[in-house]
Structure 1
């Protein structure tokens, strides 16, 4: 299978995830700014999850640029990642409905952690499929953000049981780390100065 088909399928799933999240948002019960106030946590939860899907979509695109071969283990690793991302609408909605409760916030963090692990596994499967001198292996280097993110997710999960909003702030911090463009793969492939 060519990587184009894998990328198209993944793009479609991520687009559906975003669509499901936005459909969960209900309009306010009035046409004033005051009517928007009760929807603030809904909007913030949606923005955070939208940013996460966007980060994964962007990095997935770069990941597949470096991929030379797609085999069964790459396909399954990709599905594993998509599974965890597909749970974001559920977790986003639950965290929004119970924004001051620790368990929904902790579950949200667990899903983010599982998606990060699944992404790492996908990277490893691509490197293994590409064999020696994998462009992706060279591009990954130290991957400090990839190593730091799971630790921050774990901290956020724990903090959710201490003070919910601190846990959620940790998840936002990880998203901010990844908003800074990661040019390692582009540099490795010669697409960037």
Structure 2
């Protein structure tokens, strides 16, 4: 299958997810600063969810820019990943309305971990589908940023369970910056 249509499909799904997330932010009850402060958690979790979507798009855009072939394993695994990722609008609202509660934060972090695991699997399937693509083989050789994401969010879940649940969301955000900076630290 040609990758352009597949990339366009991924882009369309992510655009819809971001649109739903922004539409879920409630309107301020009036035109005051206090009314905006009353919905601060909605803005915080929206910003983090937006960064997560952008990071996912950026990662896939960079990877698929060098992909020549995809096969059914790649397509179905990405479909499952997008299914899990499509829960983000619901979980964004769930966390915003229950900001200091462990379970919504846990589900938010779990979605992040599952997406990272699926990204690892997709990377393997992409390499298997196009073994002659040296650029792809090299680009998908180092998974340290995805492992960093999984470990950091798991640590956040432990801290969130015992102390302060929003640490999970914070760990998701920190792991995004880790994805951007870990390759630069090594090189």
Same fold (TM over 0.5): yes
- Structure-2 separation of matches of 1:74 and 1:108: 24
1:65-104 matched pairs, under 5 angstroms: 65-104=65-104
Whether 1:55 and 2:55 are equivalent positions in the alignment is: yes
- Aligned residue number for residue 38 of structure 2: 38
Q: State the distance in 2 between where 1:146 and 1:172 align.
A: 13
Cα distance in 1 for residues equivalent to 2:73 and 2:169: 33
Q: Who is 1:112 aligned against?
A: 112
2:64: which partner in 1? 64
Q: Does 107-116 or 153-162 show the bigger shift?
A: 153-162
Q: SS at 2:39's partner residue?
A: helix
Q: Is the 8 A contact 1:107 1:157 kept in 2?
A: no
Measured in 1, the distance between the counterparts of 2:181 and 2:32 equals: 35
Determine the C-alpha separation between the residues in 1 that align with 2:54 and 2:123. Answer: 18
Q: Secondary structure at the match of 1:113?
A: helix
Tell me the equivalent position of 2:172.
171
Contact residue 21 and residue 46 of structure 1 kept, 8 A: yes
Check 1:179–1:28 CA distance in 2 against 1; reply closer, same or farther (3 A cut): farther
Normalising by structure 2, report the TM-score: 0.91
Q: Which residue does 2:122 correspond to in 1?
A: 122
**CA deviation after TM superposition for structure 1 residue 143, in Å:** 3.0
Q: Which residue of structure 2 aligns with residue 24 of structure 1?
A: 24
Q: Is the CA contact 2:91–2:104 (under 8 Å) kept in the aligned structure 1? A: yes
Aligned residues: 183
Rounded Cα–Cα distance in structure 1 between residues aligned with 2:27 and 2:80: 33
Counterpart contact for 1:52–1:175, Cα < 8 Å: yes
- Contact kept, 8 Å, 2:157 with 2:167, in 1: the verdict is no
Unaligned runs of 5+ in 1: 184-193
| Alignment match, 1:189 | none
**Normalising by the residue count of structure 1, what TM-score does the alignment of the two structures yield?**
0.89
After superposing on structure 2, the runs of 4+ consecutive aligned residues of structure 1 that deviate more than 4 Å are 179-183
